[in-house]
Structure 1
Amino acid sequence: MEMEISHETNYKQHETNQDSSNIGQPHESLYLVLPYLPLFELLAMAEVCRSFTDALNEDILPWLNIVVDEKRRKKRISDGILMKITSKAMGRLTTLVLINCTKITDDGIQDVIAKNPNINKLHVQHCIGLTPEGIIGAVTMLNLHDDTLTSLKINGIFNINKEHLQRFHSLLKPDQIDVGICPKCDEVTMVYDCPSETCERKRTMRGCRGCKSCVSRCEECRKCVGFNEEEESEAACEDKLCEDCWIQLPKCGFCNKPYCSNHTYKQRVLPDSSGFVCEACHHGIHQYQF
Structure 2
Amino acid sequence: MDNPSSTSDSLLAGSSGGAAELRGALFLVLEYLRLPELLTLRQVCRAYRDSIAADELIWRHISVEPPLNSRLTDDALLRITSFTRGNLTSLALLDCRRITDDGLLQVVNRNPSIKKLYIPGCSSLTPDGIVRVVKQLAEHNGYLECLRLQGLHQIKAVHFHVLNSLLYQSNPRAASHPHFYRDFCSVRYNIDDGRPMDVDICPKCNNVRMIFDCPREDCRMMRNKRNACRGCFLCIERCGECGGCLDPEEVVEEIACLHLLCAGCWLHLPKCTTCNSPCCKQDAAAFGFSSADFALPTSSFGLSLLPTLKSCGI
Could you say whether these structures have the same fold, taking a TM-score greater than 0.5 normalized by the shorter chain as the test?
Answer: yes
Tell me the alpha carbon deviations over residues 53-110 of structure 1, each in whole angstroms, 9 at most, x when there is no partner: 443122121111011233x666111101111101100100000111111000000000
- Which residue of 134, 137, 158 corresponds with 2:132? 137
Report if the CA contact (8 A) 2:256-2:279 is conserved. Answer: yes
Q: How does 1:1-290 map to 2 (within 5 A)?
A: 31-47=27-43, 52-70=48-66, 75-173=70-168, 175=176, 176-199=196-219, 207-219=228-240, 222-225=243-246, 228-230=250-252, 236=257, 238-240=258-260, 244=265, 257=279, 260=282, 264=285, 266-267=286-287
Report if the CA contact (8 A) 1:268-1:276 is conserved. Answer: no
Which residue does 1:18 correspond to in 2?
none
Query: Match of 1:118, as an amino acid?
Result: S
Q: Distance in 2 between matches of 1:216 and 1:222?
A: 9
Q: In structure 2, the residue corresponding to 1:67 is in which secondary structure?
A: strand
Q: Distance in 1 between matches of 2:111 and 2:272?
A: 45
Q: In structure 1, the residue corresponding to 2:135 is in which secondary structure?
A: helix
Q: In structure 1, the residue corresponding to 2:92 is in which secondary structure?
A: strand
Q: Scaled by the length of structure 2, what TM-score is found? A: 0.64
Which residue does 2:297 correspond to in 1?
none
Q: Distance in 2 between matches of 1:74 and 1:123?
A: 13
Query: Match of 2:55, as an amino acid?
Result: D
Report if the CA contact (8 A) 1:178-1:190 is conserved. Answer: yes
- Shift in alpha-carbon separation, 1:123–1:199, aligned structure 2, 3 A: same
Q: Which has the larger radius of gyration?
A: 1
Give the CA deviation at 1:222: 3.4
Q: In structure 2, the residue corresponding to 1:152 is in which secondary structure?
A: strand
Give the CA deviation at 1:240: 4.0
Mind listing any 5+ residue stretches in structure 2 that lack a counterpart? 1-16, 169-173, 177-195, 294-314
Tell me the alpha carbon deviations over residues 202-254 of structure 1, each in whole angstroms, 9 at most, x when there is no partner: 67696210001111234565333465234x88564x234566599679x9998
Give the CA deviation at 1:162: 1.0
Q: Scaled by the length of structure 1, what TM-score is found? A: 0.69
Tell me the alpha carbon deviations over residues 159-210 of structure 1, each in whole angstroms, 9 at most, x when there is no partner: 1111111221231228522211101111111111112213499676962100
- Shift in alpha-carbon separation, 1:74–1:63, aligned structure 2, 3 A: closer
Which has the higher mean CA deviation after the structures are superposed, 121-130 or 199-208?
Answer: 199-208
Report if the CA contact (8 A) 2:241-2:281 is conserved. Answer: no
- Shift in alpha-carbon separation, 1:142–1:52, aligned structure 2, 3 A: same
Q: Distance in 2 between matches of 1:29 and 1:221?
A: 44
- Shift in alpha-carbon separation, 1:57–1:163, aligned structure 2, 3 A: same
Query: Match of 2:38, as an amino acid?
Result: L
Report if the CA contact (8 A) 2:214-2:220 is conserved. Answer: no
Query: Match of 2:58, as an amino acid?
Result: P
Which has the higher mean CA deviation after the structures are superposed, 210-219 or 51-60?
Answer: 51-60
RMSD across aligned C-alpha pairs, in angstroms?
3.9
Query: Match of 2:156, as an amino acid?
Result: N
Identity %: 37
Give the CA deviation at 1:125: 0.9
Q: In structure 2, the residue corresponding to 1:75 is in which secondary structure?
A: helix
Mind listing any 5+ residue stretches in structure 1 that lack a counterpart? 1-20, 278-290
Tell me the alpha carbon deviations over residues 29-61 of structure 1, each in whole angstroms, 9 at most, x when there is no partner: 563342243322433444567654443122121
